[in-house]
Structure 1
């Protein structure tokens, strides 16, 4: 009885080892140089490789080949899909060009507005500001520290020279 159990156990172990080695060699072929081939694979092939690696990782990690470990890391953390770098080669030049265009357009709009709009508004003349001071005194605006206060000696609302 003990011999039959031992023999069955040995047969099962040998079978598992052979299957594991066979699966390892089959998946090693499919994951070889995966980083360079990843974009050319179809979605079905990607799913198959991902499932294969997931199943292999459920076992002992010491049994994984170096290629399988690299492939598992690439599938988990590789620069593809949502983790693909946003900026690629040549984007810096486009960014600089876009900024230069934006500055040029805004400078042009500013120059155009200065050319079209007439001089200073009438509310920025010295006479208008003095009239604003008189109006503030009549309405007793800010009677503690402002124009309406006793012994006020500041310019009030007059800013023009």
Structure 2
């Protein structure tokens, strides 16, 4: 019976010692997190994970804040990408993409022919005559009675 009581007391003493050590380790964790080594970060995270397995009412306010920061704080992959000069970089990148696309458009336009041979008044008139001879769109189109439109003539 005495051994069991002694063992329980030793475990409680170790738990209190760990609790005090973890309380010191988690104070102002948000400010110190980036300066800690990866091993220290992992140790603190594991200690908090073990502490959370128990009664949450027993956790201190610092431990709760540290647990929340480790789980959801802006560090690692959740760190914001914005920093000094970020807006200028985005604007410069956007303008560069627009300039490259405008230059590419101008290059393609200069390499192309002026107009295709089908875009002239004679070709369009011949298209109108062909469609009339084929009786194309006889209800409301070019082959209908009393049609007064220009048909397919769009050139000036």
State the Cα distance separating 1:27 from its structure 2 match.
0.4
Instruction: Check whether the contact 1:24–1:64 (CA below 8 A) recurs between aligned residues.
Output: no
Task: Tell me if 1:119 matches 2:122.
Answer: no
Match of 2:47 among 46, 49, 52: 52
Unaligned runs of 5+ in 2: none
Structure 2: distance between partners of 1:149 and 1:39: 80
Q: Deviations over 1:55-91 (max 9, x none)?
A: 1122233332222111101011111233222433322
Match in the other structure for 2:67: 72
Match in the other structure for 1:136: 131
State the Cα distance separating 1:16 from its structure 2 match.
6.2
CA RMSD of aligned residues (A): 2.8
Structure 1: distance between partners of 2:103 and 2:66: 54
Instruction: Check whether the contact 1:24–1:65 (CA below 8 A) recurs between aligned residues.
Output: no
Structure 2: distance between partners of 1:33 and 1:16: 28
Match in the other structure for 1:34: 29
Structure 1: distance between partners of 2:11 and 2:46: 19
Q: Deviations over 1:94-151 (max 9, x none)?
A: 1111111122222223333444434332222122111111121222222222212232
Aligned length: 155
| Farther off after superposition, 107-116 or 125-134 | 107-116
Match of 1:22 among 17, 29, 35: 17
Query: Cα 1:108–1:26, aligned 2, differ >3 Å: closer, same or farther?
Result: same
TM-score in terms of structure 1 length: 0.77
Unaligned runs of 5+ in 1: none
Match in the other structure for 2:95: 100
Task: Tell me if 1:156 matches 2:134.
Answer: no
Match in the other structure for 2:77: 82
State the Cα distance separating 1:20 from its structure 2 match.
3.9
